[in-house]
Amino acid sequence: MNENLKAIVDEFAIRGTVADIKPLGEGLINDTLLVKTAEADAPDYVLQRVNTNVFPDVEMLMGNIRAVTRHIRRKLEAQGADDIDRRVLTFMPTKADPDRLYATVDGEPWRMMIFIADAVTKQAVNPESSEAAGEAFGQFQAMLADIPEQLGETIKDFHNMEFRLRQLNDVIAADPAGRVASVQPIIDELLSHAEEMTVAERLGREGRLPKRICHCDTKVNNMMFDRQDRVLCVIDLDTVMPNFIFSDYGDFLRTAANFTAEDDPDMSHVGFNMDIFKAFTRGYLRSAKSFLTPLEIELLPYAATLFPYMQAVRFLWDYLSGDKYWKCRYPEHNLDRARNQLQLFRSALDAKPAMAAFIAGQ
């Protein structure tokens, strides 16, 4: 067993004796390990190093996570739910300070949480798992609707469309990679929709659209299912922050309701899948209808177009910047991604009337 890792685990107030520590999963952002305990009645744990390049403010990040997991745990307790350690992530306090949920070792922040046993994640969706995901993400937002703490923005302006357009316009003006001229038609098409796609920010300023606590990384692989295919809990809480609810609704559909991967270079594969849309929306509205305003519901089709649009803007921004943010496997990778998301945006725009009709019938 790696003695350095053992020493890190030793910072935390856990139950049981450490028997083994080994790598877990394939997360790209944080380093993740499984800590096995010797005793049958002690849980196993997940040990994770937080990537401070992506999340520079660990104090804020872990403050958010503490507030969110405590709040959900209290709700589950009040409902008389059983199996609570599998229904919400449980982060372990440090020995030095029971109020602290991370330990800094050699300048690196580490955290530990209870490993959820007998659970699986899914990588791909079908209508059934999309409906379950919609219901679970809606429930997650619903449970956090009355959280008393003010959460911080762990990534500032993360889903702010006006900000993403400013970034694009800045890089167009500077043209550091000399690529602007070659993609002018894409730029023109994206910018021609700028006004309609920033409606959320304007309504927010007018006080007509609230920010609520959102997950902000609503992919199907960010939830755990039990062996009977029921959703146990939502995981990967690093991006939980206040946002328009469109973040969770729209970003799930952006990945799940595309007929193909976001970087498929064959645009004839790209399109908006209404079966996934309907299943996800049915599940989401079942749990979120109780707290959504009529305006939020009316704007859900907009949200389904917003996230492909935002992602096209972000991929094009990175392409024009010289590919600094996303890893590229070939020179035009970001451009293919931007084209793909633009095509998905067009397809979602076409589907807007059908989306609105479906939502009206819910």
Q: How far is the CB of 333 from Mg ion (least distance, A)?
A: 19
Q: How far is the CB of 269 from ligand GN1 (least distance, A)?
A: 17
Angle between helices 127-143 and 274-288 (to 10 degrees): 30
Q: How far is the CB of 326 from Mg ion (least distance, A)?
A: 13
Q: Does 217 engage in binding with ligand GN1 (CB under 6 A)?
A: yes
- Closer CB to ligand GN1, 39 or 157, in the complex: 157
Residue 131 contacts which entry, Mg ion, ligand GN1, none (Cβ below 5-8 A, type-dependent): none
How many Å is the maximal CA-CA distance in the chain? 64
- Closer CB to ligand GN1, 28 or 181, in the complex: 28
Q: Does 341 engage in binding with ligand GN1 (CB under 6 A)?
A: no
| 224/206 Cα distance (integer angstroms) | 38
At position 159, the amino acid (one-letter code) is H
Q: Are 138 and 287 in contact (CB under 8 A)?
A: yes
Q: How far is the CB of 348 from ligand GN1 (least distance, A)?
A: 15
Q: Does 321 engage in binding with ligand GN1 (CB under 6 A)?
A: no
Q: How far is the CB of 100 from Mg ion (least distance, A)?
A: 24
Q: Are 308 and 352 in contact (CB under 8 A)?
A: no
Q: Are 311 and 270 in contact (CB under 8 A)?
A: no
| 315/331 Cα distance (integer angstroms) | 13
Residue whose C-alpha is closest to residue 254's, from 166, 332, 342: 342
Q: Looking only at residues 25 through 44 of this chain, which bind ligand GN1 when binding is defined by CB under 6 A?
A: 28-29
Q: How far is the CB of 238 from Mg ion (least distance, A)?
A: 8
Residue whose C-alpha is closest to residue 48's, from 8, 18, 88: 8
Question: Binding ligand GN1 by CB under 6 A: which of 311, 340, 343, 347?
Answer: 311
Q: Looking only at residues 38 through 77 of this chain, which bind ligand GN1 when binding is defined by CB under 6 A?
A: 54
- Closer CB to ligand GN1, 29 or 357, in the complex: 29
Residue whose C-alpha is closest to residue 45's, from 10, 83, 69, 95: 10
Q: How far is the CB of 328 from ligand GN1 (least distance, A)?
A: 12
- Closer CB to Mg ion, 44 or 217, in the complex: 217
Q: Are 296 and 147 in contact (CB under 8 A)?
A: no
| 339/336 Cα distance (integer angstroms) | 5
- Closer CB to ligand GN1, 55 or 115, in the complex: 55
- Closer CB to ligand GN1, 28 or 124, in the complex: 28
- Closer CB to ligand GN1, 262 or 336, in the complex: 262
DSSP assignments along 142-166, one per residue: HHTTT--S----SSTTTT-HHHHHH
Q: Looking only at residues 196 through 235 of this chain, which bind Mg ion when binding is defined by CB under 5 A?
A: 217
Q: Give the interface with ligand GN1 as residue ranges (CB under 6 A).
A: 28-29, 54, 155, 217, 262, 311
Q: Give the interface with Mg ion as residue ranges (CB under 5 A).
A: 217
